[in-house]
Chains A and B, each alone.
Chain A
């Protein structure tokens, strides 16, 4: 193997995405061997279906984490945006373009995100504290001011959720699952975010700020503006995810949504996003989100009871994030690396 391909190989080995992909394949095979039910058309469609909303959330979380911050308020933002949008649609009996509820929810999301951004940049406070606070504020608004109750989805969102690309059937059991059209929403989010992060100066600025805000400022990046954008973007994605979820579950159920933020953050970290900022990919995030989905959806196929699923999810988070921390520490410290450093010096 020549020097260059060896380096490329090493780089691949140092990426979390690689390990997550291996773990996913291993779990899929394990479930298939034990149950014979994993690689059935309806199960695969079910997994994709349950992965859509977590993936959209995860991509939002990824963008904040890349910038070196963290957002704990995206789930309450989604709940608020989805509740208000759905109520407006219900009350007005809206039946026009599907774009309208997305615009409305996205707008609410951006407004909430902008509030986060203003507080963070104006007072220079830690992002975790600010978003922890605003997450309570948004939940409070939802329950107090809007006196939110669980409602069914408005007709237009019902329509969105029931529109399907195809139906998959399990030949043995006869069970069917629909592949929802909302898959295209996820694809859209993936493509737009990918282009943003990879091919725009703004997107590279997000990475730069996450790497070293001081250096970013000196290089000429407008750090405050970039941060402002980041929190608005998460708000936007939260709004979109909220509406998507309402359609797919045919109801604006916010109680089951609230409290899922940590699982989504964990999935993003599992996918290789560095919690201190600057490192992470969309591929990793999508893989991380699907790994979580597979674990919580499919372990039941091999007869693992629900409470053990929680156990496995937790173990995955600890092991997965543990691997990335271990790799980072191996690079910097320990007697082994002392020797390596010495060899480098002499060689």
Chain B
């Protein structure tokens, strides 16, 4: 309907293969001037490949990209930047060791082919860029000392300097807190008001609904749908992304068994105090609260990484001395951390090695020789039962998507003799299909009698999958409840309102 002047980007019939893998099988994408367009899809659907083609990093096998009315079949990075395309990568591509000022200004002076540096000019450039998004920051601070949100704002300021017309944000909210996400969304809205188009790449449905005008979904390198966001509800959205229907019922535990883990008056000054709760066989016990509510420190104490100063922990009715991770493992406690990439996995190592690392000792004979065959069979079993999508067990873990990586972390613990499993943000950065799989796995484990503690921000994940939960605020328990008797709204109120109790 609209004339071509309103269309800033039009990608047509883009095909791209890597070796024998068809990443994109003829996809289309159209972005209008001044719109916030969401590109959604599960990991491996071809989103990132298309971004790299639009930015000129990859050359498409066939198809064309039209930017501002000019059609390109072989787009180069310089041409793409010249047309006003800027990509904010997940790692922001900033220089951690340099100051805010230099990070913002360096690219522009490079584009002008300057041979020398004028620091006064740098400061002016940075000032100008930062004022565009109304953000104040110490220009002389090194970027490595900034919070993730501020790093991102530095990257956005830099992009704006390059007279951006289309800003592509690759999963921009992954590492942000709720407050920071809200601030980012305000900036995105302002950019939109000044006529800049945004391609917002994400698989977080609530965010997509909040910020986007239109939506394009990819699945396995093909277009599924392009539509106004108002036309799709959450269920349909999930179906478009995965091609599967998800029916998740409220988790309940009709016949809880004996108490596995009991915490009595546990305290660690500065982190949390007077925490008491118990988890029975069959329970999936939720813990939520703002970052800084003490929930992570509590989990780390149960896993022996921090040491509680007061109170006691009972495992199977007997007092447990948990002073180290080795102690926790001896009691059968497993921990799936917030940041699996750095805290739970050996990324360059094979999938198999990652799965068996926690049981290496028990498969080793007295001479220190381990049973490679038995371990391999064990890894195969877990791969089957957790539906991990991989080609070979010998591939490095870094080659897997977030969801599959998380399943490998689970396999690592399940291989050992487990009684309590603590998960901190179990599905952060995990796509919706794997998220569903992981929730099913947790329900199965609970049914087998493993006590499960699930820590999460995401109430839409916590409430349906836990039967009981606890809300923490400022290091204390403010509320313990059955999830069947509450709502997301009520819980959200208790979390953030400093006066609320239940």
Where the two chains meet, the residues of A that have a C-beta atom closer than 8 Å to any C-beta of B are: 7, 11, 198-204, 207-208, 210-212, 214-216, 218-221, 274, 277-279, 331, 335, 338-339, 341-346
Contact = CB atoms under 8 A, between A and B. Distances in A.
B138 A215 contact: no
B145 A216 contact: no
Contacts of B94: 212, 215
Nearest to B177: A345
Q: Would you call the interface of chain B mostly helix, strand, loop, or mixed?
A: loop
Given A339-B270, A342-B292, A200 B95 contact: no
B83 interface: no
B297 interface: yes
Q: Would you call the interface of chain A mostly helix, strand, loop, or mixed?
A: helix
A200 B117 contact: yes
Contact of A346 (B91, B138, B145, B290): B290
12 contacts: A198-B117, A201-B110, A203-B117, A208-B95, A211-B97, A215-B95, A219-B107, A279-B97, A338-B300, A338-B306, A345-B292, A346-B474
Interface in B96-135: 96-98, 102, 106-107, 109-111, 114-117
A211 B110 contact: no
A278 B114 CA distance: 21
B93 interface: yes
Given A215-B93, A335-B297, A343-B292, 11 more contacts: A200-B117, A204-B106, A207-B95, A218-B93, A219-B106, A278-B98, A331-B145, A338-B300, A342-B294, A344-B147, A346-B474
B271 interface: yes
A36 B41 CA distance: 76
Given A342-B292, A342-B294, A278 B93 contact: no
B97 A346 contact: no
A204 B102 contact: yes
A48 to B, nearest CB: 31
A339 B94 CA distance: 27
A200 B93 contact: no
B483 to A, nearest CB: 25
A335 B271 CA distance: 9
B117 A219 contact: no
B43 to A, nearest CB: 21
B291 interface: yes
B149 to A, nearest CB: 11
Contact of A212 (B95, B106, B114, B117): B95
A325 to B, nearest CB: 15
B296 interface: yes
Interface string B268-305: 00110000000000000000001111101100100000
Contacts of A339: 270-271, 297
B110 A219 contact: yes
A274 B94 CA distance: 18
A345 B290 contact: yes
A96 to B, nearest CB: 34
B4 to A, nearest CB: 30
Contacts of A207: 95, 97-98
Interface in B139-196: 140-141, 145, 147, 177
Contacts of A342: 271, 291-294, 297
Nearest to A341: B292
A219 B290 contact: no
Interface residues of B, number: 36
Contacts of B297: 335, 338-339, 342
A11 to B, nearest CB: 8
Interface in B366-411: none
A204 B116 CA distance: 9
Contacts of B177: 345
B271 A338 contact: yes
B330 to A, nearest CB: 22
A215 B97 CA distance: 12
Given A199-B117, A335-B306, A345 B97 contact: no
B406 to A, nearest CB: 22
A294 to B, nearest CB: 29
Contacts of B296: 338
The 5 closest A-B pairs by CB, nearest first: A342-B292, A278-B97, A345-B292, A211-B95, A211-B97
A220 B107 contact: yes
B98 A211 contact: yes
Contacts of A344: 147, 292
A277 B98 CA distance: 11
B292 A204 contact: no
Given A338-B296, A345-B291, A220 B110 contact: yes
Nearest to A200: B116
A28 to B, nearest CB: 31
A200 B115 contact: yes
Contacts of B116: 199-201
A344 B95 CA distance: 23
B207 to A, nearest CB: 20
Nearest to A217: B93
Nearest to B301: A335
Nearest to B268: A335
B306 A208 contact: no
Contacts of B98: 204, 207-208, 211, 278
Contacts of B107: 219-220
B93 A214 contact: yes
A221 B306 contact: no
A210 to B, nearest CB: 7
Contacts of B117: 198-201, 203-204
A207 B106 CA distance: 11
A203 B290 CA distance: 44
Contact of A201 (B109, B147, B270, B271): B109
A204 to B, nearest CB: 6
Nearest to A7: B138
Contacts of B114: 201
A202 B291 CA distance: 42
Contact of B97 (A198, A201, A274, A338): A274
A279 B291 CA distance: 32
B89 to A, nearest CB: 8
Most buried by B among A207, A221, A339: A339
Contacts of B110: 201, 219-221
A215 B151 CA distance: 13
Nearest to A280: B97
Nearest to A210: B97
Contacts of A221: 110
Contacts of A345: 177, 290-292
Contacts of B102: 204
A244 B409 CA distance: 59
Contact of B95 (A220, A278, A338): A278
